[in-house]
Amino acid sequence: MENYDNSLWKQASGKNFGAVLITGATSGIGRALAWKFASLGANVILNGRDKAKLDEISGNLTREFGNEVMTLPFDVRDRKAATAAVESIEGKWKNIDVLINNAGLVLGVDKEYEVNPDEWDTMIDTNIKGLLTLTRLVVPEMIKRGHGHIFNIGSIAGDATYPGGSVYCATKAAVKALSDGLRIDLVDTPLRVTNIKPGMVETHFSITRYHGDKDKADAVYAGLKPLTAEDIAETVSFIASAPAHVQIAEVLLMPTNQATGTISYRGK
């Protein structure tokens, strides 16, 4: 792996290097990303709605790895709060070299014409508008510094719609379009943009979808070995460590026994 020794945290050895900002960092993929990047020596900025959980994770990371950790408790749907939080960042923390737009969720399995409008608002405001807000707040400074990598956590759901998921699938299709569009907009800069599209990942995701019904959530993964949040974190960190001239634009990763968003093998 010698070709990958110029990762952000190794390039910056002995210098003030940039931080990694992760949205939705209190659980699941976001939490795994925080642990992975902290283990590599990066200073991490953790965002989430639950301040107590952020503080707990921050303390654990500092004890485990000795890293400095900043927490930014706000809801990505709240543009004013997000703006105030990002603008409050000072000193070396302002040099954000990796932005991971991870905050996202799915609610319910209703048909499109039966979806609760409050639920589609939550999905659209989190999965699309939240991503746009953080991109708008962070990327201009990356351009000024001439360095940065933006990861958008999309989904296999953005490739093809499945029953009971039309609004969620639409938001993840938007994540792909926004990732591709940002990559075009940044083509004359050294910045890189990557859309990560996981298949089945066993986190709190399905429990949220089924409004806390763990039995229904567990049934989603029955009969096969799903991906873990740590699998996604490993993938992101590998891509972030690629040589500066390498841009991995999009990654679709699934469990071995999943073929598409709707076709999988669950044993006999």
* pLDDT tens, position by position, 118-127: 999 999 999 9
CA 238 remoteness from chain centre: 14
Does 168 qualify as catalytic in the annotation?
A: yes
Helix/strand/coil percent split, the chain, to 5: 45, 15, 40
Write down the mean pLDDT value for the chain. Answer: 91
Query: What's the sign of the alpha-carbon dihedral 57, 61, 6, 91?
Result: positive
> How many Cβ atoms sit within 10 Å of the Cβ of residue 83?
14
CA dist., res. 224 & res. 267, Å (int): 7
Residue 107 has pLDDT above 60, yes or no: yes
For domain 2-197+227-253, give its CATH number from 1.10.10.10, 3.40.50.150, 3.30.830.10, 3.40.50.720: 3.40.50.720
Q: What is the mean pLDDT of residues 216-230?
A: 88
The active-site residue, picked from 4, 162, 168, 210, is 168
pTM > 0.85: yes or no: yes
Confidence band of 7 (pLDDT split at 50, 70, 90): very low
| Sequence spans of domains, the chain | 2-197+227-253
